[in-house]
Structure 1
Amino acid sequence: MPHHPHPRPAQRAPWRRVRPQSPSRRLTAALGGACATALLTVGLLQGCAQRAAAHGASARRAPAAARRDEGSRIVRIALAVGAASPRIAATGEWRLSDASGRAVLARATDGAAWTFERQGAMLRAVGPDGNASVWREGPLVARAVGLGAALSVGGKRYRGELRVYAADGGGVTVVNALPIEEYLRGVVPLELNAFAPADAAALEAQSVAARSYTYSRLAEYLPRAQAEARARQPYDMRATVADQVYGGMDAERPASDRAIRATEGLVLRYGGSVVSAPYYSACGGATAASVEAFGPSQEPYLRSVSDRIPGTDRHYCDAAPRHRWTREWDADGLQVVLERYLRRYASGEAARAAGAPVGVVRALQVQGHSESGRVAALAVSTDGGRYVVRSNDIRYVLRSVGGEILPSTYFSVDAAVDGDGRVSRLTLRGSGNGHGVGMCQWGAIGRARAGQDFRTILRTYYPGTSVEPAE
């Protein structure tokens, strides 16, 4: 049996996501006695007489994001942002250097974890026996040495190199820089973990969509203002649902590797430009136009598309675990959820009354539906006033008491009212899982099993686009 595709637990951003100062002197460190036989060797090759810099200065001359490496552009993925004391280890020998790679600051031959510390804009690495590299302005760059060796952070192994920066807001940021095709090996199986032979075309479609999103996040593919902002930060994307879920080497699977190789270098273009290709778990019967979920403008290649199987009353995504779902709240649970989230996402005069309680809930009414049939606006009437929540924000207001967001905005409302005029129970019955814009992952699986190839799948969910080389 194939595995289920990874559900989208939050609104995805796939929509829509220094060279150090010259030292005043050189030092050569010689380790003798017991240290000479230790497996960890710290090379203190440059002094630390450097001018202190303002926070964030380490990112000024960060290694280029789009440099070519082994035929693929480099992408920078934030694994930790503003962490207190991140640790880097390896499966074999590794070394730490400055950004240029010429000044080796530390070497480790047994894979032991080193802790990275910050002092102002300066960074250093401390080994398990207390040996430490000199304080240097970042980035510091860790590279595995030798065949089969890999770096690790938080117990996960990563290809490429790890760059360590002093984060603008405090703490330390760790970035994995690696070729895009290698990065995708740790993304595709987590975003769509369906590995049966019949699902191959779905994995290939996912590979192209994920590659397109990745290229669209590189500075040279962004509008000028966004590109300038991107150039000031040391990473292109995060390794979470804020962009694309990325698990490094431990996430890689043979089936997804084959799909990535089969589509190597291919992206989606519309009007000649690489598109940011959103995707999600299940559409519930029809995809949403981009304006329905994200507004205010409509992308021409993100129109609402029916997922119905021709000649039937079934849909390609019917096998999805959340093709149909029900959510319920009693009066107390609904009150808790609305007090937590309603003001944050709602509009209207009541929402602007900061600090006042929401009040007893009297009614919830659908104010309109979008082109695809999703709820476009939901009015919540309470003793405190009337609130209106729109489009995808509805999912973030009507959470479970435990904080899980609503699967989709494709639902009907059943609100029971008691004798005091209070909503005593709210029941939503819905379809689908995710924001609904772009590729329905379960629909892609259904289409692959029906014999469609990856190009047909992509043309369906991104109408008007073409599959072309990225370069």
Structure 2
Amino acid sequence: MRNMLIVTGLLVFVVVLVVPAAIVSFYPRPSLAPQTPESKQGADLVEKGPALKVFFADDDQLKEMWLEDYLVGVVAGEMPAKFEEEALKAQAVAARTYALRRLKAYGGSGCAKHPEADICTEPSCCQAYLGEKELRRRWGVFSYPEYYLKLSDVVASTYGLVITYDHELIDPVYHASCGNLGTEDAKAVWGNDVVYLKSVQCQYDSSPHLETEAVFTFKDLEQQLEEKVAVPVSGGLDLQVLERTGSGRVKELRVGTATMAGTEVRKRLGLNSTGFTWRLDEAGKVVFTTYGKGHGVGMCQYGANGMAKQGKDFTTILKHYYSGVEVEPPPGINP
């Protein structure tokens, strides 16, 4: 009996510790740790692109790293690594365009929130970015080498390519899911007409955000909207859509005696998108149903993955979501 326990213990040790270690050592050990441009010269400058000053929000530090290294972390942060390669390539090109447009060394705008940086790792300000430690935690010991090498190859295969309109870098905004409503016109969201950010059809989205619900009491709604929404006597809800955008999202609605933009209601209630409807349930609570996730402008990330599954390449995907653009080397910039 004792010998059996010893053998069992040894088997557990081998399976839990030795086998994973052997598998990991079989792969080259990839790393997303920022590399300092000062440590590389010559050919590496061509392979890695220009240097970026990146503000890392998690540790409140400004670090300099190569553009192409940075892009691997951005693609990892912005799209699931299991996505189709052509969708990931589209994301890589969009992310490269976004970064170069903000690179101050080439006349870019820099990071609005952190003026000392070209770009930061806060998704609400610039682009999402995940470093090695977080990716090892998310992907696990078995999947990390596979996914890291996949994303590295994706970025490398699109090296030097950006999205342009009339030979100028575009602002390649993107969102998680359009909910198959189609994408939104930039003017409907931000008030500015952008020639390449027009509403386009999208029936490729199969995301978990296609249709989601958020439930509120009348008290919750009135507190968050800062308006009376309960109709006296009848107990109804004093909300009315006044105008919808071309894609069917809520542009403006009446909330009690006030008029609010759909974007403001979405922000106050924490809804996934401005593509929403509402109803009263049997318990007298207000149920908002939202379609998609994000502002809806530019590339739909889950839609891009759907297009890739249908055999579309990354250039076709980008030209679908950004009207009238080209995918080419950056004008006047050594990538």
Q: Any idea what SS the aligned residue of 1:379 has?
A: strand
- 1:243 equivalenced with 2:116 (yes/no): no
Task: Judge conservation of contact 1:279–1:439 (CA < 8 Å) in 2.
Answer: yes
CA contact (8 A) 2:229 2:255 kept: no
Q: 2: CA distance between counterparts of 1:298 and 1:220?
A: 28
Matched-pair contact (CA < 8 Å) for 1:185–1:248:
no
Q: Distance in 1 between matches of 2:304 and 2:229?
A: 43
Amino acid at match of 1:453: D
Give 2:322's aligned amino acid: Y
- Distance in 1, matches of 2:107 and 2:274, equals 30
Distance, in Å, in 2 between the alignment partners of 1:373 and 1:222 is: 38
Q: State how far apart, in whole Å, the 2-side matches of 1:200 and 1:239 are.
A: 23
Q: 1:279 to 1:360 in 2, by over 3 A?
A: closer
Name the counterpart of 1:73: 50
Amino acid at match of 1:335: E
- Please list every run of at least 4 consecutive aligned residues from structure 1 whose deviation after the TM superposition is greater than 6 angstroms: none
Shift in Å, 1:415: 5.3
Q: What is the aligned partner in structure 2 of residue 392 from structure 1?
A: 263
- 1:332 is displaced (CA, Å) by 2.3
Contact 1:185 1:249 in 2 (8 A): no
Larger Rg: 1
Rounded Cα–Cα distance in structure 2 between residues aligned with 1:427 and 1:455: 40
1:42-191 to structure 2, matched below 5 A, reads 70-71=45-46, 72-80=49-57, 154=59, 173-191=60-78
Distance (Å, rounded) in 2 between the aligned partners of 1:221 and 1:371: 36
Distance 1:215 1:458, change over 3 A: same
1:212-255 per-residue CA deviation (whole Å, 9 max, x = no partner) reads: 111111236667xx57x97x931122211121111223437222
Q: 1:265 aligns with which of 156, 160, 163?
A: 160
Q: RMSD in angstroms over aligned alpha carbons?
A: 2.8
Q: Does residue 293 of structure 2 align to residue 428 of structure 1?
A: no
Per-residue deviation at 1:208? 0.4
1:10-64 residue CA offsets vs partner (Å, 9 max, x unmatched): xxxxxxxxxxxxxxxxxxxxxxxxxxxxxxxxxxxxxxxxxxxxxxxxxxxxx99
Specify which structure has the higher proportion of strand.
1
CA 1:303–1:255 in 2, change beyond 3 Å: closer, same or farther? same
> Residue 271 of structure 2 is aligned with which of 378, 395, 406?
406
CA drift of 1:365 comes to 1.2
Q: Distance in 2 between matches of 1:433 and 1:415?
A: 22
**Offset of residue 190 of structure 1:** 1.5
1:441 corresponds to which of 301, 306, 315: 301
C-alpha separation in 2, matches of 1:291 and 1:415: 32
Cα 1:220–1:373 change in 2 (3 A) is farther
Alpha-carbon offset, residue 276 of structure 1: 1.3
| DSSP 3-state at the match of 1:396 | helix
The alpha carbon displacement at 1:182 in A equals 0.8
Which residue is equivalent to 2:241? 366
**Greater relative contact order (Cα < 8 A, sep 6+):** 2
CA contact (8 A) 2:225 2:265 kept: no
Distance in 2, matches of 1:277 and 1:391, equals 23
- The answer to whether structure 1 residue 375 and structure 2 residue 250 are counterparts is yes
Q: Which residue number corresponds to residue 105 of structure 1?
A: none
- How many residues end up aligned between the 2 structures? 269
Separation of aligned partners in 2, 1:334 and 1:469: 49
- Partners of 1:367 and 1:375 lie apart in 2 by 8
Unmatched runs of 5 consecutive residues or more in structure 1: 1-62, 81-152, 155-172, 308-314, 340-357, 399-404, 419-423
Which residue in the other structure is 1:467 paired with?
A: 327
Q: Give the TM-score of the pair, scaled to structure 1.
A: 0.53
Q: Distance in 2 between matches of 1:431 and 1:266?
A: 32
**Equivalent in the alignment of 1:280:** 175
Q: How many Å separate the matches in 1 of 2:258 and 2:166?
A: 40
TM-score (norm 2): 0.73
Matched AA of 1:406:
L
CA distance in 1: counterparts of 2:229 and 2:252, whole angstroms? 20
Q: Deviations over 1:364-410 (max 9, x none)?
A: 111100011110012211xxxx2222142321112xxxxxx211111
Correspondence 1:198-347 to 2 at 5 A:
199-219=84-104, 226=109, 233-241=115-123, 242-250=125-133, 251=135, 253-285=148-180, 286-295=182-191, 297-307=192-202, 315-317=203-205, 319-339=206-226
After superposition, what is the alpha-carbon deviation per residue over 1:106-153, rounded to whole angstroms, capped at 9, x for unaligned? xxxxxxxxxxxxxxxxxxxxxxxxxxxxxxxxxxxxxxxxxxxxxxx7
More helix by share: 2
